[in-house]
Amino acid sequence: MSEKLVVIGNGMAGIRTVEELLKIDPLAFDITVFGAEPYGNYNRIMLSPVLTGEKAFDEIVTHDEQWYVDNAITLHKGKEIIEIDRVNRKVIASDGTQADYDRLLIATGSNPFVIPVPGNDLEGVVTFRDMHDVNIMLDTSKQHKHAVVIGGGLLGLEAANGLMQQGMSVTVVHLMDTLMERQLDEAASNMLRASLEERGLNFLMAAQTETIIGKDRVEKVRFKDGTEIYADLVVMAVGIRPNIELAKKAGIHCERGIVVSDTLQTFDPRVYAVGECVQHRGMTYGLVAPLFEMAKVCANHLAKHGIGRYEGSVTSTKLKVTGIDLFSAGDFTGDETTDELVFQDKASGVYRKLVVKDNKIQGAVMYGDTIDGTWYFDLLRDETDISDMRKNILFGQAHLGDSGHGEENRVAAMSDTAEICGCNGVCKGDIVNAINAKKLLTLEEVRAHTKASSSCGSCTGLVEAILANTVGGDYSTAPHLKPMCACTDMTHDDVRAAIVNKELKTVRDVMTGLEWKTSDGCAKCRTSLNYYVVCAWPKEGLDDYQSRFINERVHANIQKDGSYSVIPRMWGGGTSPKELRAIADVAEEYGVETVHVTGGQRIGLYGLKKEDLPTIWKKFSDAGMVSGHAYGKALRTVKTCVGKEWCRFGTQDSTHLGVELEKMTWGSWTPHKFKMAASGCPRNCAEATIKDFGVVCVDSGYELHVGGNGGVKVRATDFLCNVKTEDEVLEYAAAFMQLYRQEAHYLERTAPWLERVGLSYVKENIVENDEYRKELAALFRESQKYMQADPWAERANGTDKHEFEPIATITVGKTATTA
Amino acid sequence: MSAVKKEDKNWIEVGQIDDVPKLGARVIKTDDGNIGLFRTADDEIFALRDECPHKKGPLSQGIVHGKKVTCPLHNWNINLDSGEAVAPDEGCTASFPIKIEGSTIYIAI
């Protein structure tokens, strides 16, 4: 018989935890849920759009009653638990319903704070917390005119905006003299106030409520200074308090919230708590993102998978008032040890401030254009050193040499037909519809349902912004430490470290040793793991071909019709009549329809049949040609110009250098494709400044450039350093490649990796630390000893024959005659 | 994988279990299109029409994990036993009965 799990609280935190638990182990528990409200689970964050009339209640229900039935969960709605009997391990509801538990999850959320003034119990005085409150507000707005919202924070402003949309005349009363002082600095706050005033809201700042006056229902509000204003409705939105009464009564240790450990357990280890009711490492949270992170860890622990720990959240805020873009995160006030970077254009309504300490972002406030909010937030959480981009950082990610989506960054203003994901042809409208219709909450879910941002990923920022705009801000933030995939809770970095430290030398060992949740992993993690194993253990690690993507398994590029392309290597872009003849012969003999010169100075043959590949490779092998690895996450090409040998401007022998670079690096596997180029002079005909590693020859030697790429998001390289000799170029190239190979995540190109770790970090390791550079270069050369066997020649000689031949050929016709 | 005798089926011998790599696949060529023959980690064998329901990607070229294969073209996951796409994707490819006798694989088409 399964153990019994009882959940107190049918809100977002409790149900999210149950959902996570069902994903991991649907049979672990008999689950019973008690909820005080008479509904299934709905998205509380979306009460604001219900109040404005932008959404109906049905649209914000995330789990209807059928969901509980489908998942064999017993739901007691409208039943409030009044007692937890920890001795007999049962809970008792107000109507006498009882339920036994083996594990108990408290997710009672929080209560709105009602200020203790006379008249706060009059009819027409409400809080803004649940659907019941919203219904009262909507009803009142139909019959009355004057609304007063007490509280100029996030919730208060959303309530005020909603009531105004419903036709009421609204005054916001705030104790402080700036709005949202916990999320905004003075400048942004003033811009927000001006914009809201323009829309018709009235403000009474620095006003302390003294009495709410009325006979049966509210009539007026009086302040300390004696002024009075008319009010038919008073909304108290001054804050929330963790709802801990029940836990406290049961003797569970509480301070401001129910105190929990990193595994979300209270002082009674059978009792867990998640969401707004908890206090973790001294912090309480009133936003959704932390709650999701808690739910994941808690579910993991309940399912006894327990390697996850909740280590607290850094949160960001976004106001859900249509047309107002506002973002804040971290500590944006600063002190004497911090610097402020500020960009302000009042006329255009744009304001951005970053608080920076030791070149790391501590906090951010943005008003007007917030598309870069998620980017700043990532930099904040990753503690990225921003010294290299400090001069441009306020202009946003688009101005870091990335010409990807240009000006298209105000998603709210984009039309529904604007294409967001160019790879999969997904428009803004498709994404918004999917989010609304399928009630999607996370980037992963949007990817799964719409395919947007699931291919090249360049539109991820836009998709996150649309998600934030559609469902409310704090959903959009992916967890800080992202697990590799659904098969594990470990991050790429954790896994890489464990492969080295625990000496895991096969993909199977990694999955067993690190307690993978799935039997064989998935296409995402297996390919990553295989690369990490091969990179860490070039000699003795097992290269598992069944964990390689098809292109790397058969050493050719699969095309959309299932045929393959073949692109032989041409060292440094040079070729010869003999090689060209071999290519021409193959093209004719195998009826190649398309012969194409690639961007990397190679010749590609397209439309070849898989079973012909080994014999084609034999022909190339006989002509002295090897695999071009045009199919791999590997060294691709070294593009060159003809250099000083021919060109009247050439300063060095760039062609020779290119060949040497390619001879040294070919065959190496890298986290993502890796391209190089060597140009003979600063005219840079080989386009070295958009390569992963580029060399620009100058009269005095060689300029080295790193982290560039063309393609989806063009990024020009960063200048690494100057060197004097070819040997040095080779050493720096080997060291840079090895650092990238060892530290980047699988499928992360040098450009995003460099932006993540910072150019300074790379310089410290490659340029300033001679010893470490030499060590890295030596590691690279050692690894290459095992990587430079030509895979084409091996397969021409019979390796992996089964990959290329059918197991059987049978004739069935329509009437199955064979037996 | 069924050891039950089904005399009404035309069982066609296609090869040995070890001809198919673990967590891998082979192709059976037929005059009615290719069939992918898949082998899981615990040596179960499945046969599916070698066409992803999405854009006809050759499933036999995908990565096998659990009882699923990931299409090499756009990463749809297809259930090996039913041929159904894993939600939220929707679609189905034909699956064929397989019989194992000793280490010999038979398929019924």
Contact call for residues A455 and B73 (beta carbons, < 8 A): no
* Cβ–Cβ gap A558/B63 under 8 Å: no
Tell me: do A678 and A723 sit in the same domain. Answer: yes
Return the CATH number at B74: 2.102.10.10
pLDDT of residue A481: 66
Angle (CA) A364 A368 A369, round 5°: 75
Tell me: do A198 and A137 sit in the same domain. Answer: yes
Domain boundary residue, one of A631, A654, A675: A631
**A chain contacts of residue B104, beta-carbon cutoff 8 Å:** none
User: Is A547 in the B-facing interface, judged by CB distances under 8 Å?
Assistant: yes
**B36 in a structural domain:** yes
User: Is B12 in the A-facing interface, judged by CB distances under 8 Å?
Assistant: yes
pLDDT of residue A472: 61
User: Is B37 in the A-facing interface, judged by CB distances under 8 Å?
Assistant: yes
- A553 min Cα distance to partner chain B (Å): 9
Least confident of A129-133, A155-159, A475-479, A783-787: A475-479
Contact call for residues A596 and A604 (beta carbons, < 8 A): yes
More confident of the two residues A25 and A692: A692
Of A574, A724, A739, nearest to A660 (Cα)? A574
User: Is B66 in the A-facing interface, judged by CB distances under 8 Å?
Assistant: yes
More confident of the two residues A568 and A445: A568
Mean pLDDT, range A730-734, rounded to an integer? 98
Interatomic CA distance for residues A466 and A411, integer angstroms: 6
pLDDT of residue A408: 44
Domain count, chain B: 1
Give the pLDDT confidence of A652-672 residue by residue, as tens digits. Answer: 999 999 999 999 999 999 999
Tell me: do A20 and A151 sit in the same domain. Answer: no
Which of helix, strand or coil describes residue A680? Answer: coil
User: Is A549 in the B-facing interface, judged by CB distances under 8 Å?
Assistant: yes
Angle (CA) A541 A544 A550, round 5°: 140
pLDDT of residue A387: 86
- A519 min Cα distance to partner chain B (Å): 6
- B97 min Cα distance to partner chain A (Å): 14
pLDDT of residue A333: 81
**B chain contacts of residue A545, beta-carbon cutoff 8 Å:** 21
- Amino acid identity at A779: L
Beta-bridge partner residues of A523: none
* Cβ–Cβ gap B20/A438 under 8 Å: no
Q: Which regions in chain B score pLDDT beneath 50? A: 1-4, 6
Domain count, chain A: 5
**A chain contacts of residue B13, beta-carbon cutoff 8 Å:** 808
Mean pLDDT of chain A: 89
Enter the DSSP assignment of B32.
T
Tell me: do A672 and A726 sit in the same domain. Answer: yes
Mean pLDDT, range A564-575, rounded to an integer? 95
**A29 in a structural domain:** yes
**A150 in a structural domain:** yes
pLDDT of residue A819: 34
Interface test with A, best of B27, B43, B54 (most A CBs within 10 A): B27
pLDDT of residue A398: 67
Rounded to 5 degrees, φ, ψ at A592 are -65, 125
Question: Band of the pLDDT at A818, cuts 50, 70, 90?
Answer: very low
**A chain contacts of residue B20, beta-carbon cutoff 8 Å:** 807
pLDDT of residue A457: 67
In A403-522, where does DSSP find H-type helix? 428-438, 443-450, 460-471, 492-501, 507-513
User: Is B94 in the A-facing interface, judged by CB distances under 8 Å?
Assistant: no
Least confident of A80-94, A442-456, A542-556, B55-69: A442-456
**B97 in a structural domain:** yes
Give the pLDDT confidence of A149-196 residue by residue, as tens digits. Answer: 999 988 899 999 999 999 999 999 999 999 988 888 888 899 999 989
Contact call for residues A239 and A258 (beta carbons, < 8 A): no
The single residue listed with the structure tokens 């060109």 is A647
- Amino acid identity at A498: A
**A chain contacts of residue B55, beta-carbon cutoff 8 Å:** 560
**For residue A258, how many other CB atoms are within 10 A of its CB?**
29
A-chain residue closest to B9, CA distance: A819
**B chain contacts of residue A527, beta-carbon cutoff 8 Å:** 63
Which of helix, strand or coil describes residue B92? Answer: strand
**A438 in a structural domain:** no
Tell me: do A76 and A189 sit in the same domain. Answer: no
Q: Is the pLDDT of residue A815 over 80?
A: no
More confident of the two residues A49 and A676: A676
**B4 in a structural domain:** no
User: Is A558 in the B-facing interface, judged by CB distances under 8 Å?
Assistant: yes
Of B32, B67, B70, B68, nearest to B49 (Cα)? B32
- CA distances A257 to A587, A647, A813, Å, are 73, 74, 71
Angle (CA) A732 A736 A742, round 5°: 145
pLDDT of residue A232: 95
**For residue A53, how many other CB atoms are within 10 A of its CB?**
12
Query: Residues near A790 by Cβ (< 8 Å), separated by ≥ 6?
Result: A621, A626, A627, A667
* Cβ–Cβ gap B61/A550 under 8 Å: yes
- CA distances A310 to A7, A264, A274, A694, Å, are 20, 7, 11, 42
pLDDT of residue A752: 87
Of A617, A619, A628, nearest to A578 (Cα)? A619
Q: Is the pLDDT of residue A597 over 50?
A: yes
**A464 in a structural domain:** no
Beta-bridge partner residues of A446: none
Give the pLDDT confidence of A611-657 residue by residue, as tens digits. Answer: 999 999 999 999 999 999 999 999 999 999 999 989 999 899 999 99
Return the CATH number at A600: 3.90.480.10
Beta strands in A495-624 (DSSP E): 557-558, 564-566, 594-597, 603-608
Structure tokens at B7: 């005399």
pLDDT of residue A320: 66
Question: Band of the pLDDT at A458, cuts 50, 70, 90?
Answer: low
**For residue A142, how many other CB atoms are within 10 A of its CB?**
9
**A427 in a structural domain:** no
Domain boundary residue, one of A302, A332, A350: A302
Size of interface A-B (CB pairs under 8 A): 105
The single residue listed with the structure tokens 């006056």 is A213
Domain boundary residue, one of A631, A649, A680: A631
Tell me: do A133 and A151 sit in the same domain. Answer: yes
pLDDT of residue A446: 87
* Cβ–Cβ gap A454/B70 under 8 Å: no
Kindly state the percentage of chain A with pLDDT values over 90: 65
Option in B65, B75, B109 nearest A526 (CB)? B65
A214-229 core/surface letters (b: 16 or more CB in 10 A; e: else): beeebbbbbbeeeeee
Which of helix, strand or coil describes residue A296? Answer: helix
pLDDT of residue A60: 84
**A757 in a structural domain:** yes
The single residue listed with the structure tokens 């038979």 is B106
Helix H or strand E segment including A617: helix A613-622
* Cβ–Cβ gap A810/B22 under 8 Å: no
**B2 in a structural domain:** no
pLDDT of residue A375: 80
Question: Band of the pLDDT at A814, cuts 50, 70, 90?
Answer: very low
Tell me: do A104 and A249 sit in the same domain. Answer: yes
pLDDT of residue B44: 96
Q: Is the pLDDT of residue A74 over 60?
A: yes
User: Is A123 in the B-facing interface, judged by CB distances under 8 Å?
Assistant: no
Contact call for residues A273 and A107 (beta carbons, < 8 A): yes
Q: What is the largest CA-CA distance in chain A?
A: 102
Enter the DSSP assignment of B17.
G
* Cβ–Cβ gap B14/A808 under 8 Å: yes
Mean pLDDT, range A769-797, rounded to an integer? 96
Q: Is the pLDDT of residue A62 over 70?
A: yes
Option in A449, A519, A554 nearest B41 (CB)? A519
Domain with A763, as residue range(s), is 635-784
Tell me: do A605 and A661 sit in the same domain. Answer: no
- CA distances A153 to A150, A157, A317, A504, A651, Å, are 9, 6, 11, 52, 64
Within a 13 Å sphere around the CA of A688, how many CA atoms are in the beta-carbon half?
30
Name the pairing type of β-strands A240-242 and A110-112.
antiparallel
pLDDT of residue A201: 94
Give the pLDDT confidence of A392-424 residue by residue, as tens digits. Answer: 888 887 666 544 444 445 666 677 877 787 777
Order of strands across the sheet that contains A81-85:
A81-85, A90-93, A98-100
Tell me: do A521 and A645 sit in the same domain. Answer: no
Tell me: do A534 and A568 sit in the same domain. Answer: no
Kindly state the percentage of chain A with pLDDT values over 70: 95
Tell me: do A543 and A560 sit in the same domain. Answer: no
* Cβ–Cβ gap B19/A802 under 8 Å: yes
pLDDT of residue A813: 60
- What Rg do the C-alpha atoms of chain B give, in angstroms? 13
User: Is A220 in the B-facing interface, judged by CB distances under 8 Å?
Assistant: no
**A61 in a structural domain:** yes
Domain with B73, as residue range(s), is 11-108
Interatomic CA distance for residues A524 and A487, integer angstroms: 9
Query: Residues near A814 by Cβ (< 8 Å), separated by ≥ 6?
Result: B32
**B27 in a structural domain:** yes
Return the CATH number at A173: 3.50.50.60
**Chain B contacts in chain A segment 503-532 (CB below 8 A):** 518-523, 526-527
Tell me: do A98 and A37 sit in the same domain. Answer: yes
